[in-house]
Amino acid sequence: MRKLSPLPASIVLMLVSGSIAAAAGTSPSNSAQVARGKYLVSIISCTDCHTPGTLLGKPDFTRYLGGSEVGFEIPGLGVFYGPNLTPDKETGLGNWTDEQIATAITAGKRPDGRILAPAMPVDSFKNLSHADALAIAAYLKTLKPVSNKVPGPFGPSQKPTSFVFQVLPPNKYTPTVPPSASGPKPSMTPAQAPTPAAPMPSPASGVPAPVPTPAPAGAPVPMPTPTDVKAPTPGPATATPPQPPKQ
Ligand code: HEC
């Protein structure tokens, strides 16, 4: 057996400096960036639209930002579901670069060129600084990967396969039956209405009243027609629904 000859000093130096650079790219200053991203994601409430269950009143934080099962209807465009933002490679952002994620957030453009539907609030997010958008991307990369491919997107003539968040004219509105069928009282005040029997994990997000629609009941509800513009209601026509006694 021949002894390995020592590596020339220059190569050793290159190797050492290379590994330092590689480490620097993934750890030291990165933790401040990730903390900044976490902070931004927590206050911007990405979870409302990107965590399963949230729009149904029961956020599943074990699948935090793992993609929503409730899609937003954008009249004329179709129905769009908040996708999985975790680093899962098959169903999430695992194969996106930080720059690609930042571009999707602030310019509404996916790597494949598709422009995101305006359910994603790009109009606000375009005001994020590039550094903050990259911080969000860096934080998303640290999330626990969740395997969940959201449905859609569906075109306006396609039938969605999961819940739809839709704006209805008052004459089309019927209250959604709560998930637990264990005898919720019919005399709920609006503020109490969405509270299910089981204690909810602390809501954390500031959204007061989720409005899930009944969903795939098969009723092909057309677009909200502007017929109610005339507001012929004889009752007390205030801006709020005239329904139950308020408190
Ligand atoms: C009001 C709902 C809503 C909020 C709040 C929201 N999003 Fe979205 N987001 C969506 C929807 C809906 C889509 C999908 C739109 C489409 O498919 O055209 C989307 C798409 C995306 C995409 C593209 C992913 C992909 O696979 O195409 C990224 C990235 C994203 N959002 C990140 C974020 C981040 C980060 C935040 C918080 C800073 C956030 N979103 C807040 C609704 C929302």
Report the distance separating Cα 160 and Cα 144, nearest Å. Answer: 28
Residue 163's pLDDT is 96
pLDDT single digits (tens) 132-179: 999 999 999 999 999 999 999 999 999 999 999 999 999 999 887 776
Task: Indicate the pTM of the whole model.
Answer: 0.69
Residue 166 counted as domain residue: no
**Integer CA distances (angstroms), 119 to 61, 109, 158, in order:** 22, 13, 18
Residue 209 counted as domain residue: no
Ligand 1 centroid to Cα of residue 225, in Å, is 28
Q: Atom 32 in ligand 1: which residue has the minimum CA distance?
A: 105
pLDDT single digits (tens) 17-65: 433 434 434 455 699 999 999 999 999 999 999 999 999 999 999 999 9
CB 50 within 8 A of CB 83: yes
Domain count of the chain?
1
Ligand 1 centroid to Cα of residue 111, in Å, is 14
Ligand 1 pocket list (CB less than 6 A): 41, 44-46, 48-50, 72, 80, 82-83, 85, 101, 104-105, 110, 116-117, 119-121, 136, 153
Q: Which domain holds residue 26?
A: 21-159
CB 72 within 8 A of CB 116: no
pLDDT single digits (tens) 180-194: 655 444 454 545 444
Q: Which residue has the tokens 């860096």?
A: 138
Residue 187 counted as domain residue: no
Residue 182 counted as domain residue: no
Ligand 1 centroid to Cα of residue 181, in Å, is 32
Pairing, β 163-165 against β 70-74: parallel
Ligand 1 centroid to Cα of residue 186, in Å, is 35
